[in-house]
Copies of this chain bind each other. A is one copy, B any other.
């Protein structure tokens, strides 16, 4: 059923160590993305981790908790990444480029499974959990809006920061479905393309 039978082929997801918990979350992120949350059974997951299905419930109360944990770890790790992107950039243009670059990494790299699951399985989580997760995303988005507002203030950006952010978020998130890291376009080039979409040529 599953195309994955061991964890060895799943890259270490950012921030997750080799503890049982970490191994479950990495396997879950992968399976939830490739098969879908509902179509992944706890037995599928246990098999990939190399334990029995009953044992999962010593680490997580419910299957939904596993899903939420995947999402949380994804947000948490990328929050740090974004923060760093802003802090290491000097000036809005470079900061924005850093953000784009970082978000592309987050989508196309080791946290890609988690970020995809965050979007695609969003309404598998209860409203309560949705609220919690939305709160976590809020300051994540705040980085973007702040940088875009700065860019606008400096005349770099011609349009509304909010709308620009949304359009960029769509373009970036979708790369998961087509971009190949070892294809003809480098990640730097892709970053520049997206940056140009936001700010125009030059």
Contacts and interface: CB of A to CB of B under 8 A. Distances in A.
Copies of this chain = 4
Given A34-B123, A123-B34, A158-B201, A193 B174 contact: no
A194 interface: yes
Interface string A175-202: 1011100000100001001101110110
Nearest to A120: B120
A198 B198 CA distance: 10
A166 B158 contact: no
Interface string A8-46: 000000000000000000000000001110110000000
B173 A174 contact: yes
Q: What is the interface residue range for chain A against chain B?
A: 20 to 34
Nearest to A159: B193
Contact of A167 (B35, B158, B197): B197
A36 B34 contact: no
Interface in A77-122: 120
Contacts of A197: 167, 171, 197-198
Contact of A124 (B36, B160, B168): B36
Interface of A: 34-36, 38-39, 120, 123-124, 158-160, 163, 166-175, 177-179, 185, 190, 193-194, 196-198, 200-201
